[in-house]
Chains A and B, each alone.
Chain A
Amino acid sequence: MHQSFLIYRRFLFLWVAMMVILAALLAYVIHDPLGSPNGGTWLGYTLGSIGGLLILWLMWFGVRKRRYGVGKVNLQAWLSAHVYLGTTLIVIATLHAGFQFGWNIHTIAYALMMIVVVSGLFGVFTYVRYPSMLTRNRDDGTLERIFLEIANLDQRSRSIASALDDETAATIVKSCEARVGGGAFRQLSGGDPSCPATAAFKLIQRRAEEVTGEPALKFAQLSELLSRKCELLKRARGDVRMQALMKVWLFVHLPLSFALLAALIAHVISVFYYW
């Protein structure tokens, strides 16, 4: 379903975007200004106005998104238009600038815009790819179910370990302290280098090979439980990672789009201050 905003109305907004890009490219190629192409030619002003208005409209999506149930045009249409027309900015802004870049606020605004667009494209990528991967990863279940199973495994492994030696018991108790996720970095990495369950698993595997007699059976059981727990933890962390990736790009996309708005205002003021 997440893909539908890309194929909305049979790629309507993709066609619109391509028409816009084509028109801009054609105009740029045909137009032969005095000197070199830049934002101050009539075509430069036109493309700049289009780009600026486009940016304002793109940011309005954030407002529209939060107006639940209101509006004649549905949200999916908005998103589809937002993604495709937002991408055309790459072409429009570059042609507006006439490929002129330097160490100034105009290029700062351009750079901010590019980062916003690229982060948005990354968001599109995650929205298209990850939902089905999440479902597969959860085995058609939920993250909650995985947690429940992990909890169950914890109980069982503790009860087995209480009959075993102190080191094993302590390790198993520690393994039940494992957690999923954490800070932003930990969530995005999808792993936990200090995971006590992994450490416990390694220990138990080793001991299972060494031990003989009756405890050997218990160690084998523990080994199996921990193996299953580590696999579940890996899945849970993978789940968390994908969900985090589906959110992290917004931490770039949103703040920098506001920064872009500020830079855009500065750009327009400065261009006419020193006209």
Chain B
Amino acid sequence: MEILVTHLKRKPSGDAARRVSEVSDDVIRIGRGADCHVHLPDPRVPLVHSEIHTQDGASYISKLQTLSDLAVNGKATRSARLNIGDRLDIGPYELVVTDCPENKELCLTVELTRPFGDDFVGLNQRSVTELTSLGFGKTTWSILATVVTLVVCLGLPLAAALMPAQQAPDTGTAAAEPRLALLLAAWISSADSLWISGGISNAHRYFADDCGVCHQKPFVQVKDAACLQCHEGIQQHADAKKFASASFESFSCQSCHKEHGGLEPIVLDEQAFCSSCHVRLRTMEPETRVLDVGDFGVAHPEFRPTVMTDPTVPTKVRISLADAPKLKEMSNLKFPHDKHLRRLGDAGGTEPGGIQHPQKGRIELSCQDCHEPEPGGAGMLPIKMEKNCEACHGLEFDPNAKHRRLTHGKPREAVEQMREFYAMMALQGGLQDPTAPRVVRVRRKPGQTLSPEEMAVSLRWAMKKAAEVAEETIGKRACGKCHFVTPPDVGSADGIWHVMPVYLVDRWMPKGRFVHRDHQQETCESCHAAGTSKRAEDVMLPSIERCRECHSGEESTGKVISVCITCHKFHQPDMGPMKASNTGLLGISSLP
């Protein structure tokens, strides 16, 4: 077949330059290959793209490669009959079947309709070389970040602060409002916990969720009234009327107690806080009886226990442990610790070792036999005669009636007990006592009565006997052994013996805290010299140097750090309230 191929090249003016070539062959090949009749030199076209052949006077085009594109009049196809006016799209070329002169079977125009274009321009268009957005631009991100931060950090907590406390709904209850709404409300209402600036001390944790308990008014510092809701009546440090520097008037609770520091208690324990005044207290307050004190290890004076010096008044005085001659506790008791604590192997002089027990013979006593720790282990329970002494020091008064004991602590009753006893003995008769009158010694016959004279004799004897026994027991053997006693007044008829009242100081150092239980690894003897104490007047306290064997001040190394409040309190009892309480008109605290 003979075909005419016209290559068109568009000019900017719109006209086309033409290059015409004639080809003649049985089958016309179209492709990139140089041997193709219709040479389409663009690399996007396969070497051999398609063929045109004639059949029965008509021309047909058919694609030779399945993967390449061929469209006839816009429709993709593998092969088609060619008519005048048909438009073929082969790669970037457009071929149009045109009207032909008679000697040609087919005429085609070929035009490169999709040239490559400017590679440089194309590269620029395809490439994105500037970082202008990261999902969003910087402005959008800034707005987003600001809004989110304001909501989370300001909005939600503020909403929580302003709304009343909500409870999360129980799992079982059927609520009127939707459960989700209640959960959300509960969650939002706790959002002001995002504002917390530090952990709450352990003792305050049970109301830590409700900031308003202490922060009662917004933008107003926590006032003393908030603390006094619970700590009402917290006492002064010292007598504020007498010592101006102890009034702490310009201080609020917050001046010393700082919350939001974590779980630790908010009690100030720094030594410097106390010693800033106490190291020069006598200069600041000349009236004070407290000695100047600093660090426990190096600047704490010797202990000055409060000792009973005159039981008749009674008078208690603080005497330093260093002042041995003056250091005597006048309790009106007689008690030798050394005798009671003798060891069995300690035979010396005429007495064997140990101490005599009425039933058990010679025994050894130890501190625990009489001194029981009180519950909590701070101090010891008070010594009670009935509990701690009577087992050995029974108050019998008659060897023939050992079961009869005098009541301890009541001398009048004791005398009367003895009188009643002997009166009964006299009335009963049959008494085996050669010194007694006959009427008392004689056995009564059944139904026998006593004459008035006999009764008088019996009673006189009973009273006399009671007085003798009283002198022996109260005066010497029983009461007089431990107490200071005075006989009945001369000229008085009541015959009542007087026992000097006993004044045992409850605590030798009432302003200092000492817990025995914390020291239970030590022996009693290591601090209390009981084994050598002969008299009850001995104040058996250890010197401060004994404590300093283990304890020292804040800056110590290798010793137990003991600051002022380890043993002392700031808020002293019975000094009067530190702050006037403020519980409102009705006296109702603002706690829920």
Which residues on B sit within 8 Å (CB–CB) of A184? 131, 133-135
Check if A247 sits within 8 Å of B153, measured CB to CB: no
Check if B43 sits within 8 Å of A173, measured CB to CB: yes
Check if A248 sits within 8 Å of B134, measured CB to CB: yes
A160 — nearest CB in chain B belongs to which residue? B43
Check if A187 sits within 8 Å of B145, measured CB to CB: no
Query: Which one of B118, B122, B131 has the greatest number of beta carbons of chain A within 10 Å?
Result: B131
Q: How far is the CB of B406 from chain A (nearest CB, A)?
A: 61
Check if A244 sits within 8 Å of B120, measured CB to CB: no
Interface positions of A from 261 to 275, Cβ below 8 Å from B: 261-263, 265-267, 269-275
Q: How far is the CB of A190 from chain B (nearest CB, A)?
A: 12
Which residues on B sit within 8 Å (CB–CB) of A179? 123, 126-128
Check if A265 sits within 8 Å of B198, measured CB to CB: no
Check if A273 sits within 8 Å of B195, measured CB to CB: yes
Interface positions of B from 91 to 141, Cβ below 8 Å from A: 116, 118-120, 122-124, 126-131, 133-135, 138, 141
Check if A147 sits within 8 Å of B124, measured CB to CB: yes
Which residues on B sit within 8 Å (CB–CB) of A272? 219
Tell me if A209 is interfacial: C-beta within 8 Å of chain B: no
Which residues on A sit within 8 Å (CB–CB) of B120? 147-148, 151
Q: Complex formed: what's the CA distance from A261 to B128 in Å?
A: 33
Interface residues of B, count at CB 8 A: 66
Interface positions of A from 44 to 102, Cβ below 8 Å from B: 100, 102
Q: Chain A, 188-229, contact with B by CB distance < 8 Å: what is the 0/1 string? A: 100000000000000000000000000000000000000000
Check if A254 sits within 8 Å of B123, measured CB to CB: no
Q: Which one, B123, B124, B258, contacts A35 given CB within 8 A?
A: B258
- The stretch from A22-30, A103-111, A118-126, A133-141 touching chain B is A103-111
Check if A162 sits within 8 Å of B154, measured CB to CB: no
- Provided the pairs A158-B116, A259-B149, A275-B215 are in contact, do residues A105 and B131 lie with their beta carbons within 8 angstroms? no
- Provided the pairs A104-B197, A162-B32 are in contact, do residues A36 and B261 lie with their beta carbons within 8 angstroms? yes
Tell me if B150 is interfacial: C-beta within 8 Å of chain A: yes
Tell me if A42 is interfacial: C-beta within 8 Å of chain B: no
Check if B43 sits within 8 Å of A161, measured CB to CB: yes
Check if A105 sits within 8 Å of B44, measured CB to CB: no
Query: Which one of A178, A188, A263 has the greatest number of beta carbons of chain B within 10 Å?
Result: A263
What's the dominant secondary structure at chain A's contact region?
Answer: helix
Tell me if B256 is interfacial: C-beta within 8 Å of chain A: yes
Q: How far is the CB of A175 from chain B (nearest CB, A)?
A: 11
- Provided the pairs A166-B46, A181-B129 are in contact, do residues A275 and B32 lie with their beta carbons within 8 angstroms? no
Tell me if B273 is interfacial: C-beta within 8 Å of chain A: yes
Check if A169 sits within 8 Å of B148, measured CB to CB: no
Interface positions of A from 241 to 258, Cβ below 8 Å from B: 243-244, 247-248, 250-251, 254-256, 258
Tell me if B42 is interfacial: C-beta within 8 Å of chain A: yes
Tell me if A143 is interfacial: C-beta within 8 Å of chain B: yes
Which residues on A sit within 8 Å (CB–CB) of B148? 259
Tell me if A240 is interfacial: C-beta within 8 Å of chain B: yes
Check if A274 sits within 8 Å of B146, measured CB to CB: no
Q: Complex formed: what's the CA distance from A82 to B261 in Å?
A: 34
Interface positions of B from 408 to 453, Cβ below 8 Å from A: none
Check if B157 sits within 8 Å of A105, measured CB to CB: yes
Which residues on A sit within 8 Å (CB–CB) of B152? 105, 108
Q: Complex formed: what's the CA distance from A262 to B144 in Å?
A: 11
- Provided the pairs A38-B261, A166-B47, A263-B149 are in contact, do residues A251 and B198 lie with their beta carbons within 8 angstroms? no
Q: Complex formed: what's the CA distance from A143 to B135 in Å?
A: 25
Q: How far is the CB of A236 from chain B (nearest CB, A)?
A: 8
Check if A104 sits within 8 Å of B129, measured CB to CB: no
Check if A266 sits within 8 Å of B127, measured CB to CB: no
Tell me if A43 is interfacial: C-beta within 8 Å of chain B: no
Check if A261 sits within 8 Å of B197, measured CB to CB: no
Q: How far is the CB of A275 from chain B (nearest CB, A)?
A: 5
Which residues on A sit within 8 Å (CB–CB) of B260? 38
Q: Which one, B46, B47, B145, B222, contacts A255 given CB within 8 A?
A: B145
Which residues on B sit within 8 Å (CB–CB) of A154? 119, 123
Q: Which one, B127, B131, B133, B138, contacts A254 given CB within 8 A?
A: B138
Q: How far is the CB of A166 from chain B (nearest CB, A)?
A: 5
Tell me if B268 is interfacial: C-beta within 8 Å of chain A: yes
Q: How far is the CB of B282 from chain A (nearest CB, A)?
A: 25
- Provided the pairs A162-B32, A187-B131, A262-B153 are in contact, do residues A254 and B142 lie with their beta carbons within 8 angstroms? yes
Check if B142 sits within 8 Å of A247, measured CB to CB: no
Q: Which one, A102, A240, A258, A267, contacts B146 given CB within 8 A?
A: A258
A106 — nearest CB in chain B belongs to which residue? B197
Q: Complex formed: what's the CA distance from A28 to B119 in Å?
A: 65
Check if B43 sits within 8 Å of A270, measured CB to CB: no
Check if A187 sits within 8 Å of B149, measured CB to CB: no
Tell me if A34 is interfacial: C-beta within 8 Å of chain B: yes
Tell me if B14 is interfacial: C-beta within 8 Å of chain A: no
Tell me if B199 is interfacial: C-beta within 8 Å of chain A: yes
- Provided the pairs A161-B43, A184-B134 are in contact, do residues A273 and B126 lie with their beta carbons within 8 angstroms? no
Which residues on B sit within 8 Å (CB–CB) of A152? 119
Check if A177 sits within 8 Å of B126, measured CB to CB: yes
Check if A151 sits within 8 Å of B123, measured CB to CB: yes
A247 — nearest CB in chain B belongs to which residue? B131
- Provided the pairs A34-B258, A109-B153 are in contact, do residues A187 and B129 lie with their beta carbons within 8 angstroms? yes
Check if B198 sits within 8 Å of A102, measured CB to CB: yes
* Complex A-B, nearest 4 residue pairs according to Cβ-Cβ distance, in ascending order: A151-B119, A266-B153, A259-B145, A179-B126
25 contacts between A and B (CB under 8 A): A34-B258, A35-B266, A38-B261, A102-B197, A105-B157, A109-B153, A147-B123, A150-B123, A163-B34, A166-B46, A169-B44, A173-B43, A179-B126, A180-B126, A180-B129, A183-B128, A251-B138, A254-B138, A258-B145, A259-B145, A261-B146, A263-B149, A266-B153, A274-B215, A274-B218
